[in-house]
Amino acid sequence: METLSSLLGPQPMMAMFLTIAIGYLLGEVNVKGFSLGVGAVLFVALFIGWLAPKSAPAPMVGTLGLALFLYAVGVQYGKQFFLGLTSSAGRKANLIALSGVLLAGVVSVLFLKMTNLETGHALGLFAGAGTSTPTLQAAIVKLGNDDPAVGYSVAYPLGVAGPILFLYVTFMLLKPKIEMPPGGGLELLEIAPQESALKGKTIGDLLASLPAGIEIAALRRAHHNLPATHSMALAANDVLLVTGPSREALEGAARQLGEVHEGRIMGDRRDLDYLRVFVSRPTVAGRALADLKLPDGKPHVVVQVRRGDADIVPKPDLVLEFGDRVGLLAHRDEFGALRKFFGDSIKGTAEFSYISIGLGMALGFLLGAINFPLPGIGKLALGLSGVLIVALVLGNMRRTGGLNWTIPLSANLVLRNLGLTLFLAQVGMSSGPKFAATVSQTGFLMIGLGAIVVVALVLPILVLGLGVFKMPFDEVAGIVAGACGNPAILAYSNKLAPTDKPDIAYAMIFPGMTIIKILFVDIVPAFLGG
């Protein structure tokens, strides 16, 4: 042990990356469906930190990692975040999360009277159970001592492992059905409408009567294929090329319109052929389809946009991002011009503006450093939550003039996972010695109290979300992750329910709940005389 400690102590970077490697290896161990995933990095880091205290990397490493994670999440889900706040479902999700956060705070305060716990220790348990470093910083500043760090170091590992265990047990007991988003590509079907369905109608009129998600991409008239537009009047003997999310949806449209005529359009590629291009030009990314000035020439039409593993219906207001794959129907003579227009480079899947991410992160740190005055209480600083708030705003704006704020999904995932891993490794290695010392001094008392605070935080959310409001499991898992705050919980939620709902709920919940936690530790000492 001493040899290993002396080897790792002078080499913090080597120790950190060794911690990451071992953590990911252990995270893949699966016991009856349960595995810690990236959360295992934290527990390996606690052990390495205890074994070799001098090996802990500088705090800036963890700050950078968490900031990268928060910025990547915010930029990707900014639009969904603001849409959620304006919806009844979004407000309900925030209230559910608030119930858990406030109950955890109340339980922490009760420990002050029941166990003669120090005010700092109680606030530290609250901050650690909610894995909120900004809350810990606020408590230390408010009390003027390091007592909160003791409770935080004990409760923090429980605040990561506890919610993960709750989600695992809930998932195994309920065995919820997760509705996966369609990712197999859009389906095509050629339909010849009945003449009674065509009289005096345009393609736009016809689409208004069809189910959502159904689009008409092209039509065949007089032995020629033409791109479809909403203003185009329909005529007898037209054959329509219809796209939809599933074969069943298209067959339903065929029963409504007429009969299937396969091979008329797709069998003749003289006028229109299929082309798929990557979006990699900065002048195209960040713009809506309706705003694009496609090259002049023979007619062409966008029929598909694929982002990550999902196909998106190409509505006029759809904003393109770097790395999107755009499917078009066009004449082969136009293929070269269209490839040049969109860029068509696979590098676009990992391309983003360092100017935008630099400005965005700088604005986030600036917002987090501002002290907002609170009458009768003092001042409030948002800390790293400022990075997330700015990223959410920029993600909703998507583009400002010539500056594109979005990050391609593949690059976003790399930044997010790298940031999360660095954060967990640094925090765990730094907390290892204090965690071990606290446990040895207080026995299991502090651990038991921390566990109760975690239960008070998570249980109300699960009961209200799943039991009272009957919400989908993946959405409730995201609310749990957002209320608890730790990225490892979000990562585990995504593993159990690989949809967008955990990420969206996390982005919608996390900023507000972080502010509530900070306010709590700022306000409570004023009433307790601490």
Q: Are 191 and 241 members of one domain? A: yes
pLDDT tens-digit readout, 278-318 = 998 888 887 888 888 888 777 788 888 888 767 777 888 88
Q: pTM of the predicted model, to two decimals?
A: 0.73
Output the six-digit token pair for 51.
């074994």
In a domain, 512, yes or no: yes
Measured between alpha carbons, how far is 345 from 54 in angstroms, rounded to an integer? 46
The CATH number of residue 293's host domain is 3.30.70.1450
> Which position has the token pair 């909403």?
230
Polymer length in residues for the chain? 530
Q: Are 345 and 394 members of one domain? A: no
In a domain, 76, yes or no: no
> What mean pLDDT is predicted for residues 519-530?
76
In a domain, 22, yes or no: no
Per-residue model confidence (pLDDT) at position 123: 92
Q: Are 201 and 269 members of one domain? A: yes
The DSSP H or E segment spanning 139 is helix 133-143
Measured between alpha carbons, how far is 9 from 435 in angstroms, rounded to an integer? 18
Describe the strand order of the beta sheet including 187-193 as a list of residue ranges: 224-227, 215-221, 239-244, 187-193, 258-260
Contacts of 23 (CB under 8 A, 6+ apart): 38, 40, 41, 42, 43, 44, 45, 421, 424, 425
Per-residue model confidence (pLDDT) at position 33: 60
Per-residue model confidence (pLDDT) at position 55: 86
Per-residue model confidence (pLDDT) at position 162: 92
pLDDT band at 107 (very low <50, low <70, confident <90, very high): very high
Q: Give the SS3 label for residue 2.
A: helix
In a domain, 501, yes or no: yes
CB atoms within 10 A of CB 413: 14
- 47 CB burial (10 A radius; 0-12, 13-18, 19+): middle
pLDDT band at 277 (very low <50, low <70, confident <90, very high): very high
Q: Are 164 and 224 members of one domain? A: no
Domain C-terminal end among 316, 350, 384? 350
Q: Are 362 and 468 members of one domain? A: yes
Per-residue model confidence (pLDDT) at position 357: 92
In a domain, 78, yes or no: no
In a domain, 519, yes or no: yes
pLDDT at 100 > cutoff 90: yes
CB atoms within 10 A of CB 373: 8
Higher model confidence: residue 182 or residue 59?
59
> With contact defined as beta carbons under 8 Å apart, do 515 and 381 qualify?
no
pLDDT tens-digit readout, 43-60 = 888 888 888 888 889 888
Measured between alpha carbons, how far is 260 from 240 in angstroms, rounded to an integer? 9
In a domain, 12, yes or no: no
Q: Are 144 and 233 members of one domain? A: no
Measured between alpha carbons, how far is 41 from 163 in angstroms, rounded to an integer? 16
pLDDT tens-digit readout, 112-145 = 778 877 888 899 899 989 988 778 877 877 787 7
Q: Are 111 and 152 members of one domain? A: yes
> What mean pLDDT is predicted for residues 450-460?
95
**Domain total of the chain:** 2
pLDDT at 37 > cutoff 80: no
Q: Are 151 and 253 members of one domain? A: no
Domain C-terminal end among 304, 330, 350? 350
pLDDT tens-digit readout, 205-247 = 888 878 777 888 888 888 888 888 888 888 888 888 888 877 7
Output the six-digit token pair for 153.
């170091």
> With contact defined as beta carbons under 8 Å apart, do 408 and 352 qualify?
yes
Output the six-digit token pair for 97.
């999360």
pLDDT band at 181 (very low <50, low <70, confident <90, very high): low
Q: Are 200 and 106 members of one domain? A: no
Per-residue model confidence (pLDDT) at position 456: 96
Per-residue model confidence (pLDDT) at position 220: 86
Per the prediction, the chain carries an average pLDDT of 84
pLDDT at 434 > cutoff 80: no
pLDDT winner (highest mean) among 21-25, 351-355, 419-423, 426-430: 21-25
Q: Are 232 and 264 members of one domain? A: yes
DSSP track, 72-118? HHHHHHHHHHHHHHTSHHHHHHHHHHHHHHHHHHHHHHHHHHHS---
Q: Are 312 and 447 members of one domain? A: no
Residue 425's domain comprises: 96-179+357-528
pLDDT winner (highest mean) among 111-125, 146-160, 251-265, 355-369: 355-369
Domain C-terminal end among 287, 321, 350? 350
Per-residue model confidence (pLDDT) at position 376: 66
pLDDT tens-digit readout, 337-395 = 999 999 988 876 676 778 999 999 999 999 988 888 877 666 777 777 788 889 989 98
Kindly state the DSSP code that residue 464 receives in the 8-state scheme: I
pLDDT tens-digit readout, 54-97 = 888 988 898 898 889 889 888 887 887 787 778 888 889 999 99
> With contact defined as beta carbons under 8 Å apart, do 191 and 259 qualify?
yes
In a domain, 119, yes or no: yes
Angle 432-433-435 (CA atoms, 0-180°, nearest 5)?
A: 65
Q: Are 413 and 480 members of one domain? A: yes
Measured between alpha carbons, how far is 99 from 251 in angstroms, rounded to an integer? 46
pLDDT band at 510 (very low <50, low <70, confident <90, very high): confident
> Which position has the token pair 């008392």?
445
